[in-house]
Amino acid sequence: MTDSISDYIIETQDLTKIYNRWFGLRMTEAVMGLDLKIQPNCTFGFLGPNGAGKTTTIKMLLGLVRPTRGGGCVLHRPLGDQDVRKYIGFLPEEPAFGRHLKAREFLTLCAKLSHVEPNEQRQRVEKALQTVRLDHRAGSRLAEFSRGMLQRIGIAQALLHDPTLLILDEPMTGLDPPGRREIKEIMLDLRQREKTIFFSSHILSDVEELCDSVGILNRGRLVLAGPLADLLAASGVEYTVTNMPATLLPSLEPLVAGMQKKHNQWILQVTDEAHQETVREILKRGGCSDAESRRLRKNLDDVFMETIEADNERRGKETQHG
Amino acid sequence: MDDVMVIAQNTASRVLRMKALYFLLAIVTCIIASGQLYGDITIGREKEYFLDLGFAMIMIVGVLCALVACFDLPRELREKTMVAVLSKPLGRDRYLIGKFLGVCEIALISMALVGVGLMILTAMAGRYRPNLEIVKALILIYAGVVQLTAVGVVLGTFLKEWLATLLTLVIFWGSYALGYVAANTEGFVQTIIHLLPNFAIMSSDNVVARDGVIDWRLVGGGVLLAGLYSLVMLIVAGLIFRRKDIA
């Protein structure tokens, strides 16, 4: 695949948003120099601590917020393009919709605004209500809805017009466990239907379960991005050794990252690539040639925390030196 | 144009579902009806008094409806309901036009209801008949309300609810008062007066009260002025709103 603009569903270059308040006396750097590339048919998890700039980025992609610098394309059209929104389904972070409207009225309004054909509107609205399991509350006013129900209505309005790209800002927030499972099922179904999903979330286990790629944003800067499989890729080997002689322990201790004894088994974790061969040799020489090995896999929690902490530390040092 | 009408309809339906609107209309109709009780203290001029009171009440209803434009936009921005709507393939200009038309629709319905009430009460009084001049005066009041709505939309795009409402009321009061002295001013003051909406056209109800005739040309001119003024105001609002971050 070549690296041309047309290959990406979302592409940004140096996307920056600085909020100026009090005529420039107070400046907040919300997003700085963001370069994102999202492949078609991919589920992209956009991660970051609170205030990292995720929502601002999403709003810039949708043309709701004007970038201070930089730009990009969404579905091969420049940011802020009005027509491209026909192909985008968006769930805002706060599902604030017209509280005076009934669920069905609200979805009909959204169907009209999303340019759904008039003869299809009714059918699409009913289908969307069924998808988010709110068909029994279609006649209730949104003012009567709980946060979780509003979230579902938000997802329903995002799906109404069968968009090519879904941008979901914290879709799992406010949902109970069954609700979360339902939304995950919807997202997995959309993924199977080759839709591109860009979603931000704090629930890393969900991201790990759903995403092909992730990007981690910290204090407005993208600090890590790539396919999830690569980011969580093997970072070491775990050996399970039965009846290991205690005499081997002194020579193994400096080489392993972790050692644990369970009954008559030792579990040795070797994260340093350079030590893996030496450990294997020691075990072989010690008569433990039956040791089982398996590649260690990181979890997203660890990757996220390591990345954020390393970035904060680096920036702290930069600030001290600067 | 469909999406503009969808926004207009949504704006109107939200206000039409507010109980406060019907309470206001009921109160105003009662005040107009009570005007018939003052025959004795108006020294035989109860007709002028009654019609004056009726038109004043209709104008108040119209102005209150126009103020919806001032707080509806900032409220939607504050409550973030605007985010979901503007993420649809809807231009910001069209959204503003929809809001403007929705508020105009509310004002039209409310003023028409009170206007019909005024006509019925006039007919019930028996001593004078409802006539076309009342309709002409109502059209001119509505033309003023449309201009005020457009001012409200402009201010609502960049000010907070309370400030936009307050400033719109100040502009209404100032323009209404300055409209009377416009002919006697010159230079900068006159320019300012011409930049403000012309609410002097709302005052032709006095002519009706005195059995006068309102020229159709004045009605046409008033409507044209309201249309042009609103157009200019909406363009200004669009220019401001296009640059606004919907954060």
pLDDT digits (tens, 9 = 90+) for B171-189: 998 887 776 676 677 777 7
Q: Do A56 and B87 touch (CB under 8 A)?
A: no
Position A308 scores a pLDDT of 92
Residues of A in contact with B72 (CB under 8 A): none
Are B168 and B67 contacting, i.e. CB atoms less than 8 angstroms apart? Answer: yes
Position A213 scores a pLDDT of 94
Rg (CA), chain A: 25
- pLDDT tops 80 at residue B129: no
- Beta-carbon separation of A94 and B80 below 8 A: yes
Residue B93, chain A, CB below 8 Å: the answer is no
- 3-state class of B120 per DSSP? helix
| CB interface of B with A, residues 6-35, below 8 Å | 6, 10, 13-14, 17
> What is the dihedral angle through the alpha carbons of A127, A128, A134, A139, rounded to the nearest 10 degrees?
-80
Q: How confident is the model at residue A26 (pLDDT cuts 50, 70, 90)?
A: confident
Cβ–Cβ contact B90 with A under 8 A: yes
Class of A5-231 in CATH: alpha beta
Residues 62-81 on A with a CB inside 8 Å of B are 62, 64-66
Q: Which residues pair with A237 in a beta bridge?
A: A270, A295
Taking the Cβ of residue B84 and every Cβ of chain A, the question of whether any pair is shorter than 8 Å is answered with: yes
Contact (CB<8Å) A64/B91: no
Q: In chain A, which residues have their Cβ closer than 8 Å to the Cβ of B80?
A: 92, 94, 96
Which sign, positive or negative, has the C-alpha torsion B140, B141, B142, B147? Answer: positive
Which is more confident, A104 or A276?
A104
A147 touches B at CB < 8 Å = no
**Yes or no, beta carbons of A85 and B87 under 8 Å apart:** yes
Separation between Cα atoms, residue B84 and residue A111, nearest integer Å: 12
Query: Lowest-pLDDT range, A121-135, A204-218, B29-43?
Result: B29-43
Distance CA(A102)–CA(A108), nearest Å, equals: 10
Q: How confident is the model at residue B127 (pLDDT cuts 50, 70, 90)?
A: low
- Select from A64, A68, A74, A61 the least CA-distant residue to B242: A64
pTM over 0.90: no
- The crossing angle, in degrees rounded to 10, of helices B187-195 and B161-181 is 130
Q: Of A241, A253, A252, A249, nearest to A288 (Cα)?
A: A241
pLDDT class for A244, splitting at 50, 70, 90? confident
Contacts of B245 in chain A (CB under 8 A): 19, 59, 64-66
Q: Which tens digit of pLDDT belongs to each residue from B99-112?
A: 999 999 999 999 99
Indicate the domain borders of chain A: 5-231, 237-295
pLDDT for residue A238 is more than 80: yes
Q: In this predicted structure, what is the pLDDT of residue B35? A: 80
Question: Average pLDDT for residues A236-244, to the nearest whole number?
Answer: 84
Q: A109 and chain B: CB distance < 8 Å anywhere?
A: yes
Residue A57: closest C-alpha in chain B: B247
pLDDT of residue A245: 84
Among the partner-chain residues A56, A64, A101, the one whose CB lies closest to the CB of B87 is A64
A62: which chain B residues are within 8 Å (Cβ-Cβ)?
87
Does residue A154 belong to the interface with chain B, where contact is any CB pair within 8 Å? yes
**pLDDT for B2:** 84
Q: Give CA–CA dist B102/B85, Å, rounded.
A: 15
| DSSP string for A123-176 | HHHHHHHHHTT-GGGTTSBGGG--HHHHHHHHHHHHHTT--SEEEEESTTTT--
Cα atoms in the 13 Å half-sphere on the side-chain side of B37: 5
Residues B76-94: pLDDT tens digits?
999 999 999 999 999 999 9
Cβ pair B84:A114 closer than 8 A: no
Predicted pLDDT at A248: 86
Q: Is the Cβ–Cβ distance between B74 and B159 less than 8 Å?
A: yes
Q: Residue range B43-53: average pLDDT?
A: 79
Cα separation, B148 vs A61, whole angstroms: 35
* Span between the terminal Cα atoms of chain A, in Å: 41
Mean pLDDT over A109-124 rounds to: 94
Beta carbons of A220 and A29 less than 8 angstroms apart: yes
B191 touching A (Cβ < 8 Å): no
Q: What is the pLDDT of residue A254?
A: 87
- The pLDDT, as a whole number, for residue A21 is 81
Q: Please answer yes or no on whether B87 and A92 come within 8 Å at the CB atom.
A: yes
Q: Which of A262-271, B179-188, B236-245 has the lowest mean pLDDT?
A: B179-188
Q: Is B91 part of the contact surface with chain A (CB cutoff 8 Å)?
A: yes
pLDDT of residue B1: 65
Window from A69-73, A293-297, B137-141 with minimum mean pLDDT: A293-297
Q: For the domain bounded by A237-295, which CATH number is listed? A: 3.30.70
The per-residue pLDDT of chain A, averaged, comes to 89
A53-67, A301-315, B127-141: least confidently modelled range: B127-141
Confidence band of B128 (pLDDT split at 50, 70, 90): low
Q: What is the pLDDT of residue B109?
A: 96
Read off the pLDDT band of A2 (50, 70, 90).
very low
Q: Comparing A152-156, B52-56, B179-183, which segment has the lowest mean pLDDT?
A: B179-183
> For residue A203, what pLDDT band results from cuts at 50, 70 and 90?
confident
> What is the DSSP secondary-structure string of B56-84?
HHHHHHHHHHHTHHHHHHHHHHHTTHHHH
Closest CA of chain A from B93, distance in Å: 11
- Identify the pLDDT of residue B146: 96
In this predicted complex, what is the ipTM? 0.85
pLDDT of A167 reads 97
Confidence band (pLDDT; 50, 70, 90) for A1?
very low
Nearest CB to A113 within list B14, B17, B90: B90
- Number of Cβ within 10 Å of residue A232's Cβ equals 16
Across A80-88, average pLDDT = 93
pLDDT the model gives residue A273:
77
